[in-house]
């Protein structure tokens, strides 16, 4: 696949997200061990690995949907801790898109997009509606604004979910397997939307198995297994010269032609 | 049965409606508090709410009314029958509605709360805007069902001398010695209250189902 989005040189940019020695257990099960990760402003990361390797857990720690027991997480200069203010400051910066969309089913598409800006950012109804309509237009779904989520296809719902997250003006977007629950013919419309975001300079961490997307968009691909980061490299290196046996095996499995 | 007796029954009916309304409205407020405590994630609050629910679901309503009416009088709190049964029904309804709504809140998919949290919505907004509207929809059949039970349950208030529909029927029947006729009419009056409610409940359920489809 050709690469439309040039690798961005973010070497001089300040770190947007820093995870230092992060560990997380579920009871006796160690879900994340010694995670060290630094994401610079504007960087686009693709996180991949077999299921149960801790990819989702890792990004869910960043906006504190999961609480890690050890280590430090900083987002845009804020250190995440139990204090509500730090959680508030971090969630202000970070938008998230889920595998199962998680749109609010009792609200229209427009209401889905207006709720959080009005409640959390305290913007006026008019301003919230303007922003919502603009962003729905950007994900090319403005004509569905007054429908309910269940009236839309999966791909449309996921694009609404992206617009809803963007309405909060985040500086980082987390994607948790955004295309895994979609029918194959709908994957492209969602990926195109994400590529558009990447082109505009959004800092992104995407948990995905769409390796074409990784090749095209990622500045860095990170491979995880059993709760640890095994390998990280620019996509070219990652796909052509993986260093670890575990990575080679994984790539062999997901890239195998039928 | 003359007009006077029938009007007396209607006065009883009025108090049945009033008592049901008070029990339901105050019980809804208490029940919401119980349901929120029960799902708060804070252990002491959850235990307290669970204990309250267990106590009131595990004892007969009749006994609860006795305890409120005679028990509080024993410790020096002399309440009128009216206030006592209102308190009794409120406590009773709080426990049942609390348990119904706890189940409904927990039935709302976890992803909804997570999406709301990720959008930086705080607890009050997460509940008020996201979880409760969906939980109410889920709880509707059970809630209306309980309201119907509550209306019929108000007949127990007659035991502490509160003249609602059942006791009014008893009084009239003792005067005119036509128990079958009197209690037949009383039964019809109860039915006319409860049946439309059940219909309304299924109507709402259908309407919500369409909206969320």
- Give bridge partners of residue A18 from the DSSP assignment: A38, A74
In a domain, B209, yes or no: no
For residue A199, give the 3-state DSSP assignment. helix
Q: What pLDDT is recorded for position B203? A: 86
In a domain, B87, yes or no: yes
Q: What is the pairing mode between strands A70-75 and A44-48?
A: unpaired
| ipTM of the prediction | 0.92
In a domain, B132, yes or no: yes
Q: How confident is the model at residue A97 (pLDDT cuts 50, 70, 90)?
A: very high
Contact list in B for residue A148 (CB cut-off 8 A) is 211-213
Helix (H) or strand (E) holding A87: helix A84-93
Task: Verify whether the Cβ–Cβ distance B212 to A148 is below 8 Å.
Answer: yes
In a domain, B204, yes or no: no
> Which residues of A fall below an 8 Å CB-CB distance to B?
63-65, 88, 91-92, 94-96, 98, 100, 102-106, 115-116, 119-120, 148, 150-151, 161, 164-165, 168
Task: Verify whether the Cβ–Cβ distance A120 to B119 is below 8 Å.
Answer: yes
Q: What pLDDT is recorded for position B210? A: 65
Is residue A154 over pLDDT 60? yes
In a domain, B21, yes or no: yes
B114 vs A65, A92, A151: nearest CB: A65
Domain that residue B139 falls in: 17-164
Q: How confident is the model at residue A24 (pLDDT cuts 50, 70, 90)?
A: very high
Contact list in B for residue A170 (CB cut-off 8 A) is none
| Residue indicated by tokens 């990622």 | A218
pTM recorded for the entire structure = 0.89
Task: Verify whether the Cβ–Cβ distance B117 to A168 is below 8 Å.
Answer: no
In a domain, B148, yes or no: yes
CB contact B111 to A (< 8 Å): yes
Per-residue pLDDT averaged across A233-242, rounded? 94
Q: Smallest Cα–Cα separation from A98: which of A129, A45, A59, A128?
A: A59
> How far is Cα B203 from Cα B196, in angstroms, rounded to an integer?
10
Q: What pLDDT is recorded for position B212? A: 58
Could you report the per-residue pLDDT of A32-54, keeping only the tens digit for each? 999 999 999 999 999 999 999 99
In a domain, B111, yes or no: yes
Query: What is the number of structural domains in chain B?
Result: 1
CATH code of the domain containing B112: 1.10.3720.10
DSSP letters along A104-132, please?
-TTS-HHHHHHHHHHHHS---HHHHHHHH
DSSP letters along A10-77, please?
-TTSPEEEEEEEEEEEETTEEEEEEEEEEEETT-EEEEE-STTSSHHHHHHHHTTSS--SEEEEEETT
In a domain, B138, yes or no: yes
> How far is Cα B153 from Cα B176, in angstroms, rounded to an integer?
26
3-state secondary structure chain B: CCHHHHHHHHHHHHHHHHHHHHHHHHHHHHHHHHHHHHCCCCHHHHHHHHHHHHHHHCCCHHHHHHHHHHHHHHCCCCCCHHHHHHHHHHHHHHHHHHHHHHHHHHHCCHHHHHHHHHCCCCHHHHHHHHHHHHHHHHHHHHHHHHHHHHHHHHHHHHHHCCCCHHHHHHHHHHHHCCHHHHHHHHHHHHHHHHHHHHHHHHHHHHHHHHHCC
Could you report the per-residue pLDDT of B13-39, keeping only the tens digit for each? 999 999 999 999 999 999 999 999 999
CB contact B134 to A (< 8 Å): yes
B129 vs A119, A150, A164: nearest CB: A119
B125 to chain A: nearest residue by CA? A119
A:B CB pairs within 8 Å? 70
Task: Verify whether the Cβ–Cβ distance A164 to B119 is below 8 Å.
Answer: yes
Q: What pLDDT is recorded for position A2? A: 58
Assign residue A205 a region: left if phi > 0, alpha if psi is -120 to 50, beta otherwise?
beta
Could you report the per-residue pLDDT of A170-179, keeping only the tens digit for each? 999 999 999 9
Is residue A6 over pLDDT 80? no
Is residue B213 over pLDDT 80? no
CB contact B133 to A (< 8 Å): yes
């Amino acid at each position: 696949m050709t690469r439309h989005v040039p690798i961005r040189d973010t070497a001089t940019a300040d770190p947007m997200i820093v995870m230092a020695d992060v560990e997380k257990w579920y009871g006796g099960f160690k879900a994340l061990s010694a995670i060290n990760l630094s994401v610079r402003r504007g960087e686009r990361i693709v996180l991949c690995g077999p299921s149960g390797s801790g990819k989702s857990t890792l990004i869910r720690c960043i906006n504190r949907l999961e609480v890690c027991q050890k280590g430090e997480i900083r987002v845009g200069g804020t250190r995440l801790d139990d204090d509500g203010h730090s959680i508030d400051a971090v969630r202000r910066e970070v938008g998230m898109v889920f595998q199962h969309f998680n749109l609010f089913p009792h609200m229209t598409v427009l209401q889905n997009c207006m709720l959080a800006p009005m409640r959390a950012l305290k913007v006026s109804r008019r301003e919230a509606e303007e922003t919502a309509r603009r962003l729905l237009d950007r994900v090319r779904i403005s004509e569905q604004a007054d429908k309910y989520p269940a009236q839309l296809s999966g791909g449309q719902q996921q694009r609404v979910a992206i617009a809803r997250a963007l309405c909060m003006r985040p500086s980082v977007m987390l994607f948790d397997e955004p295309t895994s629950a979609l029918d194959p013919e709908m994957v492209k419309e969602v990926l195109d939307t994400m590529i558009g975001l990447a082109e505009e300079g959004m800092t992104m961490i995407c948990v995905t198995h769409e390796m074409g997307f990784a090749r095209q968009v990622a500045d860095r691909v990170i491979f995880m297994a059993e709760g640890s980061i095994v390998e990280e490299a620019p996509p070219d290196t990652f796909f052509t010269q993986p260093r670890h046996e575990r990575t080679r095996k994984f790539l062999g499995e997901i890239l195998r032609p039928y | 049965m003359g007009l006077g007796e029938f009007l007396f029954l209607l006065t009883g009916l009025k108090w049945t409606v009033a008592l049901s309304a008070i029990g339901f409205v105050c019980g809804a407020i208490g029940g919401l508090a119980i349901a929120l405590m029960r799902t708060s994630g804070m252990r002491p609050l959850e235990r307290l709410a669970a204990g309250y629910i267990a106590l009131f679901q595990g004892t007969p309503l009749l006994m609860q009314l006795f305890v409120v009416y005679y028990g509080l009088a024993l410790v020096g709190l002399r309440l009128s029958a009216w206030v006592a049964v209102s308190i009794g029904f409120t406590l009773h309804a709080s426990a049942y509605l609390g348990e119904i709504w706890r189940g409904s809140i927990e039935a709302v998919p976890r992803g909804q709360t997570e999406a709301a949290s990720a959008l930086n919505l705080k607890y009050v907004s997460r509940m008020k805007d996201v979880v409760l509207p969906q939980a109410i929809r889920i709880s509707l059949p059970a809630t209306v069902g309980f309201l119907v039970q509550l209306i019929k349950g108000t007949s127990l208030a007659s035991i502490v001398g509160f003249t609602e529909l059942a006791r009014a029927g008893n009084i009239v029947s003792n005067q005119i010695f036509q128990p079958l006729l009197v209690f037949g009419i009383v039964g019809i009056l109860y039915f006319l209250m409860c049946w439309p409610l059940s219909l309304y409940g299924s109507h709402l359920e259908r309407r919500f189902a369409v909206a969320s489809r």
